[in-house]
A and B are shown apart, each in its own frame.
Chain A
Amino acid sequence: MRKLLPFLLISLVAFIFLGRLVYLQLIDDSYKEVALEFSTKKVYDYPQRGYIFDRNGELLVANQPAYDVMAVPLDVEPFDTIAFAEILNISPERLKNQLRKAWVYSPRLPYIITPQLTKKEYAYLQEQLHKYDGFYIQKRQLRDYQTNSGANFLGYIAEVNQRDLDRNPYYQSGELIGRQGVESQYEEILRGTRGVKYYQRDNFNRNIGSYENGVFDTIPKKGKDLTLTIDLALQAYGEKLMQNKWGGIVALEPETGEILALVSAPSYDPDDLVGRKRSRNYTKMWYDSISKPLFDRGLQAMYPPGSPFKVFTGLAALQEGVVGLNEKFSCYGGYSYGRSDRMGCHAHASPVEMISGIAYSCNSYFAQVYRRTIEKFETAPIGIEAWSKHMKSFGFGNFLGYDLKVGRKGRIPDSTYYNSAYKFKWYATATLSNAIGQGEIETTPIQLANAIAAVANRGWFYRPHILKEIDGSAIKDSVYTVKNKTTIDEKYFEPVIDGMHDVYKYGTARYLQVEGIEICGKTGTAENFTRIDGERKQLTDHSIFVAFAPKDNPKIALAVFVENGGFGARYAGKIASLMVEKYLKGNISRTDLENWILTHSLEEEYAKPYSGEEFKINQ
């Protein structure tokens, strides 16, 4: 028996070992993945980001190379710190500090010493670099803006942050991602597909050759070029006109819903957010809580629309059949309803019917027409619901669904809104301000522009959008190619459009006619308030204007908001008129008008609430 011990032991151990090997190598597959994870390193090859063009093929955004200076600390030989720091255009302390950080990160791995040198800095450095062992250049792509317009809708690119990484597993730390505007909206089209090379790495994370001779490697695919609906000339002109003013201009092509111009003022030069200066400039703008240059007023600002809204009040009244086209209302400098309630109006010819009511922008007329619309129904809540449905069919009161990331819903009140606002039973007169676009109504400039485009089209609109073509082929997204019908019949639009036409003939914008263009428009003046030290304080009215032209077969529809610009024709009307002329004629004949706008600043107006002193408005 004693002889058998070795046999038993050897067999037992061999059996256990073979069993274990079967388990490790044949049954449990997890080790393969772990090994691959440990032993390979993916190195990405980034493609060129797609270019961005305007509707006329004008290049807006291209790419430029930038050069990161990298160092592998172990390879760095002692060198003249001061001379090298001078070449890199940083302080010697910073250079030393960066090298120290690189050591801490890893002595064997490359670390960024200074990021994103420009071409010029790089050219000089390249000649000198051979003197400095352990340093090398890594190229990367940055955006190269061919224009200084359109920062708000172009957006910018920046390194991904932790939130992007958590949300989208595609991205790796240090990669660039589109932020805001088109860069963000069409990120996946613009960025292309990165290529990947698998390298085998050792336990110190160093490359030790290609993995499996590169059979898993992929080639990068270039990002696609985008053609935007924007007309760069019009956009740039709009931004020029809006200098020293706050507000937004949205210009659309009614027959397609394409956004021709999307001006937000104040804005910034898109180049400010490229490369090394991005962080500093962005922080500065981020903390500018007064003028808010990062806030896209064309899309995000909610203003009371004011008188342009009368167009829709009129249309709803006609659709509901509560007013005849030639039915005249007298205006006694205002409209009294209730015991002591009165809505004021300005001086104009009286009495007025629909067309001249629009032309003169008569408050009394539209107050009464609105009241009839609501009171047609059994109760005010039912009336409001019906009216609200008409308004919402124009795209008011909800997100429009355009292809840019930011926006606001605006507000069209319905019965629920007033039921919770008023404890007791309420009547049409309580909501009378709606008639003239004040009160509870708020719209964004793009909503108003879109609604005017729907008027110009006599009852329908395409959802506004900024993308025209991808790599030269037109977009087919049904969201932007299916007509949205309003609830108003086509026949009711003609008289209202006539009224808007008369605005220019004899109405509130009679001095802003553009020669040779049949233009329709509507002025707007909206009261607005702010809070100073907890006290509600009225500010100078917003100047608002909507227009489309030509009257038949319209090519452009636009809405202009100028914050605290006074009455509608004062700033917004002039800007709208110049924009229309610029777009349809290409050049400006009324240089005196243009000059007036360019030389008039509203900065003083904007400083008033912050001056700490008493101020007067509407002067």
Chain B
Amino acid sequence: MGWATIYSTTLAEEQPNVFDTSKLYGKQLLWIGMSFFLVIIILSVEAKFYQRFASVIYILALLVLLGLPFFGKTIAGQTAWYSFGSFSIQPAEFVKAAAALAIAKYLTGINVSLKNFKNQLQVLLLMLLPMALIMLQPDAGSALMYVAFIIPLYREGLPGIYLIIGALIISIFLTTIKFGAIYVSLAILLLSIIMLYFKRKSKPNYALPFLVVALCIGFSFASNFIFDKVLQPHHQDRFELILGMKSDPLGAEYNTYHSKVAIGSGGLTGKGWLQGTQTTGKYVPEQHTDYIFSAVGEEWGFVGSSLVVLLFCSLMFRFWFLAERQKSPFNRIYGYSVLSILFFHFAVNIGMVIGIFPTVGIPLPFFSYGGSGLWGTLILIFIFLKLDAKRMDL
């Protein structure tokens, strides 16, 4: 329950940023007010309930997602909302918790081991189902978030080779876009020859390294193709901007550019609450949702923005600590999932706002405007807190 403090401080900081129009601000306050009841409900539910009904919740969540194309409301090209009067609910925000419960439940099943390829596939399916449904909306940012589950999976025994392969794929992809397939291939060859040279005494098997190198080079050439043919032009832009291959402050880079300007102009202590020239001038689009951190950076400066970063870190460390102290694997896996989801949001959102990560539409927990996001996060966290409170009752 110590996290209520963090919650309330984030609330205080949230106000200036949603003050922009009284309507949004009022709505958000209502969401916050109602969230207390939500928390009470979550906390009053028996801890065992979450574990027992995880699969039911998961299936219900999937059904809700499935219903979107038929009953959903379309805003800005995304059919991601159910509308009730003037309030809208975005189910994808709640499905995170359901998926986390389901994965935790699955992994605690008898004879389930992540060393086992079949089990790996089944977990992947658990992740892919909501991902695919969210992709249909389409909401790439929220869908991408399911990648975060790789952290609890690794904790629970997923072979490290997957992480290495993932890292390899990303780095080859990015370097190929930046430098071209030929240079990347040469670099890979050079690296592998050097590595083999140092290992020559142990008489290694040459077949496997050869295969890896061949695959890497193959992928390098493939990435060019993927980049040019599979990705949409606006996705290409985002990669090229981050890799410094082009500059377009008036077009594709507009958001990032103005967000950097806003943060950069904050200086050490910022311009003060409601004094940010860029914030009050609404130069950064979506500054009350995905780009809210730019307002923090401008109005509270380095002191405020680094404090926010540190608070997030301490929150995540705290979850890490809490998750590790759980006796029940279900609780631990769920805790790790909460931590990972938070981490993904934090890393991707702030990374995007300060211009070191490609633009991905994903909110910053506790800060961004949006009731569903707030509730989704609260549900995630308070289920875990409830589980943690009852960790001794086995």
Among A3, A30, A39, find the residue whose CB has the most chain B CB atoms closer than 10 A: A39
Give the residues in chain B near A38, CB-CB below 8 Å.
258, 261, 277-278, 281, 283
Give the residues in chain B near A17, CB-CB below 8 Å.
309, 350-351, 354
- Contacting pair B354 A10 (CB below 8 A): no
- Contacting pair B282 A202 (CB below 8 A): yes
Q: Is B316 engaged at the interface, CB distance under 8 Å to the other chain?
A: yes
* Chain A 1-45 interface mask (CB, 8 Å, partner B; 1/0): 011011101110110111011101110101110111011100000
Q: Is B264 engaged at the interface, CB distance under 8 Å to the other chain?
A: yes
Closest to A13 in B: B347
Q: How far is the CB of B349 from chain A (nearest CB, A)?
A: 11
Give Cα distance in the complex from A16 to B356, angstroms. Answer: 9
Among A26, A30, A32, A35, find the residue whose CB has the most chain B CB atoms closer than 10 A: A35
- Contacting pair B278 A35 (CB below 8 A): yes
Q: Is A325 engaged at the interface, CB distance under 8 Å to the other chain?
A: no
Q: Is A402 engaged at the interface, CB distance under 8 Å to the other chain?
A: no
- Contacting pair A208 B356 (CB below 8 A): no
Q: Is A203 engaged at the interface, CB distance under 8 Å to the other chain?
A: yes
Give the residues in chain B near A6, CB-CB below 8 Å.
151, 155, 316, 320, 336, 339-340, 343
- Contacting pair B263 A26 (CB below 8 A): no
Q: Is A545 engaged at the interface, CB distance under 8 Å to the other chain?
A: no
- Contacting pair A26 B316 (CB below 8 A): no
- Which of B261, B310, B355 has a CB less than 8 Å from the CB of A35? B261
- Contacting pair B313 A14 (CB below 8 A): yes
> Which DSSP category, helix, strand, loop or mixed, fits chain A's interface?
helix
Give the residues in chain A near B155, CB-CB below 8 Å.
2-3, 5-6
Interface residue total, chain B, C-beta cutoff 8 A: 45
Knowing A2-B155, A6-B316, A21-B302, the reply to whether A31 touches B283 (Cβ < 8 A) is: no
Give Cα distance in the complex from A371 to B313, angstroms. Answer: 103
Q: Is B288 engaged at the interface, CB distance under 8 Å to the other chain?
A: no
Q: Is A201 engaged at the interface, CB distance under 8 Å to the other chain?
A: yes
Q: Is A361 engaged at the interface, CB distance under 8 Å to the other chain?
A: no
Closest to B263 in A: A24
Knowing A25-B266, A31-B263, the reply to whether A200 touches B283 (Cβ < 8 A) is: no
Give the residues in chain B near A40, CB-CB below 8 Å.
277
Knowing A26-B302, A30-B264, the reply to whether A5 touches B281 (Cβ < 8 A) is: no
Q: Is B173 engaged at the interface, CB distance under 8 Å to the other chain?
A: no
- Which of B261, B282, B317, B336 has a CB less than 8 Å from the CB of A7? B317
Q: Is A493 engaged at the interface, CB distance under 8 Å to the other chain?
A: no
Q: How far is the CB of B347 from chain A (nearest CB, A)?
A: 5
Give Cα distance in the complex from A11 to B347, angstroms. Answer: 11
- Contacting pair A32 B277 (CB below 8 A): no
Give the residues in chain B near A418, CB-CB below 8 Å.
none
Q: Is A303 engaged at the interface, CB distance under 8 Å to the other chain?
A: no
Give Cα distance in the complex from A17 to B350, angstroms. Answer: 8
Give the residues in chain A near B316, CB-CB below 8 Å.
6, 10
Give the residues in chain A near B309, CB-CB below 8 Å.
14, 17-18, 21
Q: Is B267 engaged at the interface, CB distance under 8 Å to the other chain?
A: yes
Give the residues in chain A near B351, CB-CB below 8 Å.
13, 16-17
Knowing A6-B151, A21-B302, A21-B306, the reply to whether A32 touches B354 (Cβ < 8 A) is: no
- Contacting pair A9 B343 (CB below 8 A): yes
Give the residues in chain B near A202, CB-CB below 8 Å.
280-283
- Contacting pair B354 A24 (CB below 8 A): yes
Give the residues in chain A near B310, CB-CB below 8 Å.
14
Q: How far is the CB of B80 from chain A (nearest CB, A)?
A: 26
* Chain B 312-345 interface mask (CB, 8 Å, partner A; 1/0): 1100110010001000000000001001100100
In the complex, chain B residues 277-302 whose Cβ is within 8 Å of any chain A Cβ: 277-278, 280-283, 297-298, 301-302
Give Cα distance in the complex from A6 to B263, angstroms. Answer: 27
- Which of A14, A16, A31, A200 has a CB less than 8 Å from the CB of B265? A31
* Chain B 269-283 interface mask (CB, 8 Å, partner A; 1/0): 000000001101111
Closest to B301 in A: A25
Q: Is B154 engaged at the interface, CB distance under 8 Å to the other chain?
A: yes
Q: How far is the CB of B329 from chain A (nearest CB, A)?
A: 13
Give Cα distance in the complex from A44 to B263, angstroms. Answer: 29
- Contacting pair B277 A36 (CB below 8 A): yes
Q: How far is the CB of A330 from chain B (nearest CB, A)?
A: 88
Q: Is B170 engaged at the interface, CB distance under 8 Å to the other chain?
A: no
Give Cα distance in the complex from A17 to B281, angstroms. Answer: 25
Give the residues in chain B near A18, CB-CB below 8 Å.
306, 309
Give Cα distance in the complex from A27 to B317, angstroms. Answer: 29
Q: How far is the CB of A23 from chain B (nearest CB, A)?
A: 9
**Which 4 interchain pairs have the tightest Cβ spacing?**
A31-B264, A35-B265, A39-B277, A202-B281
12 example contacts (A-B, Cβ-Cβ < 8 A) are as follows A5-B151, A7-B320, A10-B313, A14-B309, A17-B354, A25-B264, A25-B297, A31-B260, A31-B263, A36-B265, A38-B277, A200-B280
Q: Which residues of B contact A (CB under 8 A)?
A: 151, 154-155, 157, 258, 260-268, 277-278, 280-283, 297-298, 301-302, 305-306, 309-310, 312-313, 316-317, 320, 324, 336, 339-340, 343, 346-347, 350-351, 354-356
A13-B347, A31-B260, A203-B281 known, 4 other contacts, Cβ within 8 Å: A2-B157, A6-B340, A24-B260, A40-B277
